[in-house]
Structure formats: C-alpha cells, structure tokens
Structure 1
Amino acid sequence: MAWDTDRTKRLLLDAAIDEFSRWGLAGARVDRIAAAAGVNKERIYQYFGKKDDLFRAALAGELAAAREEVPMTGTGPEAVADYAGRLFDHHLANPRIARLVFWEGLELGAEPDRDPERAAYHDGKVDGFAAMLPGADRADAAELLLTLVTLIDGWPVLQQLDAYIAGGDGPDGRAAGRRRRAVVDTMRAMAAELTADAG
C-alpha cells in the first residue's frame, strides 16, 4: 500500500494547530501531536524538521486559509467595514488563528526569524488592503490593517477582559455582536478619515 504523504502532512498540521493553539510553542509536545494525528512522530521530523518549523508551518497554513476564505474586495470605507466584519466572523469561528499569533508574539518576540514566505504573505496582504483605500499612503493602510488585526485577534484571546470591562457574556452571546459592531464601526470611521485625508 502506498503511503499518502499529503494526507499524513495534513493530519499532522491539523493536530499541530490544535496543540500549539492550546499550549503554545514551548508547551506543545511532539508526541501528543503525533498521537492525535495517528502518525509516528518521526514523520514530523521527516516532513517539517524541528518543532519550531512545524509551528511556523501550522501558522502559515492557517493564515493562508484565512486569506482565501476572507478575500479583500471593493474600495472605500464601506468595503473596509465589510472586510472587518467578515474577518471578525471568521476569527470568531476559528479562534486558533488568534491564539497561534499571540503565542508567536509571546514566545518568539517582536522580531521572530524573518521568514521570506511569511514576509511576502504580509506584504501581499498590505497591498490588498491599500488597494481598498484609494489615494491612501501604503504606510497608513498598513497601520490601519495592523489596527484591525489587533482588534480582531484580541477578542478570542482576551475574553476575560470583556467580563471585567463590559460585563460580557462571552464570544457566543450578545458580547460578540457588540464587539463586532465596535470593530466594524471603528474601521469604517478610520478608513473614512484616511481616505478623506488622502483626498
């Protein structure tokens, strides 16, 4: 019987995403990833190298999937607001992305190894976002995109603050709707200001 390499890689990545999003890079265990995938852990080293490389592959895969599933379309403040809402919905349904990004920041710091593929991914994302804001400076568009990502990724990771600050009922209740409106309205207003300044 032929070994299905692609299927094995997918099983390992799925298990790694779950493990890393729960425990972070330092707390994740290769043996748990292998067991969850139903694969010998030697396959991890064979296909991905060391644990850090598996973490990077897992995060890169999740980011690429999000970009495919939530495309940037249209131009102007309403398009930015629409994108913000769709991205919020996506990350609410898949909080693993936010958790992986936060773990990356906590464990690898502000300057993780500069991965050329990851840099190209983010450059493309900034280019796409800048295209939604005709006339706006690319650096300003990048800052607005970073603000959006920060607002959205903070929600699945910092839910306890909703209870303390807004008396919320968690991401599955009314609090999620309030938070979504706040993110969308904020992005609409910031995009309007940015495009007005550009005009």
Structure 2
Amino acid sequence: MADAKATRRRILDAATSEFAARGIAGARVDRIALAAGASKPMLYAYFGSKDQLFDAVFLDHVIANSDRVPFTAEDLPGYAQRLYDDYVNDPALLRLVAWKRLERVSAGYLFAGLEEVDAGNLRRIAEQQEAGSIRPDVDPADVWSLLIAASSTWAQLSITAVAGADDVEDDHRRRRSAVASMVRDGLAVAALPTNEKHAR
C-alpha cells in the first residue's frame, strides 16, 4: 500500500512538471512515466488516461492550496496575503489553471467538482456582509473573484511582474502590504462612503 501511494505521488509530481510546462495537448505520457520511474501501462492503471491524469494533478494542487490557506472571510486582507505567499510557493498552480482555461473551459466556472467548496466560501462572505465587516453592495461571488484576482496579481502568467521564491523579502513584504491594503480599502465596509454605510 505504501509503495502504491509513493508511486502515485511520483506520477503526480512528474505530471505536474509536464502539464505546467506544456499544457494538456503538449504533455507526453512517455515523458511523465520516465520522469516518475514508472511504465506507461502503470501510469494508465493508476489514472486511466492523460486527460484523467491532468484532472488528478489539477485537483491535487487546488485542494492542496485550499488546505494550506484556509479561507477566512472575517480577515480578507490576511487571507489575500497568505494566498499571495502560496502562489509564490506553488508556481505550477496558476499555470495549470491557465492551461485548463486555454484548452478546456474558455468561459464560465473553472472548478467543476468543487462547487460546494466555493459555495461555502460565498456563504461565509454573505455572513460577514450581514455582520458588517464586508461591504454589502458587492455580490459575494464578485467579492470572491476580486479577492482571488488581487491575490494572484504577481502569480505565474501575470501581465506585469511574476513573483518568485528567490525575490528579496522586501519585495514580498511590499506586495503583501499592497494586496492587503487594496482588499481592505476595496472590499471592507470602511471602503464605503459614509452616506452609503448609514443607508444600509
């Protein structure tokens, strides 16, 4: 059992590198098998097909991200900072997201199978809107999208600058502060004009 788990992990790790670099269409099962020290038949026995292997890799990174950075609706700025750090430490995640968007889901919801997780996050945002800590004039789904977008400003495929683990700590500190300030000023109740706060 331990050997099977280790083999599965090696295949996932090798597939992560291959898919992140080349996408779904460009990835080659023989390269993944070679890098994992496994045979192609073994890879198919574990994951069924190249498409199913991509799904497993994608889900592995998305769930790991959720586990490493639990959502805190009561502290959006802090969550945004922690998410920034996780994107720096797992550069493959946003590349996998981009490949799935480019090759499979060109519009609409990207995370099939994880709807209930996101639904729970939206419920927590709505609860904090009711409690008065998140501005109520923005739909919870839009709060969530803006929060993720702000946190991924410097992630892989940024159109400005990509943050890397080797960047000096002053740069990371400056970016964390910037994203926290933007989230706090843009999504908190304090960001609303005074007359709008009293009208709600």
Interval containing the TM-score (normalised by the shorter chain): 0.7 to 0.9
2:162 aligned with 1:183: no
Written as runs of structure 1 = structure 2, the 5 A alignment for 1:119-130 is: 119-130=115-126
**Cα distance, 1:144–1:3 mapped onto 2, change above 3 Å:** closer
Normalising by structure 2, we get a TM-score of 0.78
Contact 2:95 2:157 in 1 (8 A): no
2:123 counterpart SS class: helix
- Greater share of residues in helix: 1
SS of 2:160's equivalent? Answer: helix
The aligned residue for residue 24 of structure 1 is 23
TM-score (structure 1 length as normaliser): 0.78
> Structure 1 CA distance, aligned partners of 2:152 and 2:82?
13
Q: Contact (CA 8 Å) 1:73, 1:83: kept in 2 or not?
A: yes
Partner of 1:110: 107
Decide whether aligned partners of structure 1 residues 112 and 8 sit closer, same or farther in structure 2, where only a CA change above 3 A counts: farther
Q: 1:3 to 1:180 in 2, by over 3 A?
A: closer
User: Are the counterparts in 1 of residues 11 and 33 from structure 2 also a CA contact under 8 Å?
Assistant: yes
- Residue 26 (structure 1) shift: 1.4
User: What amino acid is aligned across from residue 126 of structure 1 in structure 2?
Assistant: L
Q: Which position in structure 1 is the counterpart of 2:59?
A: 60
Identity of aligned residues (%): 34
Count, aligned residues: 188
Q: Distance in 1 between matches of 2:109 and 2:139?
A: 23
Distance 1:147 1:93 in 2: 21
| In structure 2, distance between residues paired with 1:19 and 1:128 | 36
Residues 107-135 of structure 1 deviation map (CA, whole Å, 9 limit, x = unaligned): 112258873x2333333343344445445
Helix, strand or coil at the partner of 1:162: coil
Q: Which residue of 1 aligns with 2:76?
A: 80
The ranges of structure 1 where at least 4 consecutive aligned residues each deviate by more than 6 angstroms after the TM superposition are: 136-139
Indicate the residue corresponding to 1:98 in structure 2. 94
Match for residue 13 of structure 2?
Answer: 14
Change in CA separation of 1:32 and 1:158 when aligned onto 2, cut-off 3 Å: same
Cα-Cα RMSD:
3.0
**How far 1:63 sits from its partner (Å)?**
0.9
Greater shift after overlay, 36-45 or 79-88? 36-45
Give the direction of change, closer, same or farther, for the CA distance of 1:22–1:124 in structure 2 (3 Å limit): farther
Q: For the structure 1 residues 11 and 44, does the alpha-carbon distance in structure 2 shift closer, same or farther, using more than 3 Å as the test?
A: same
* Partner SS, residue 76 of structure 2: helix
Structure 1 unmatched ranges of 5 or more: 164-169
Cα deviation for residue 176 of structure 1 reads 3.8
* AA in 1 matched with 2:96: L
Between Structure 1 and Structure 2, whose CA radius of gyration is higher? 2
SS at structure 1 position matched to 2:152: helix
Do the aligned residues in 2 keep the contact of 1:126 with 1:145 (CA within 8 Å)?
yes
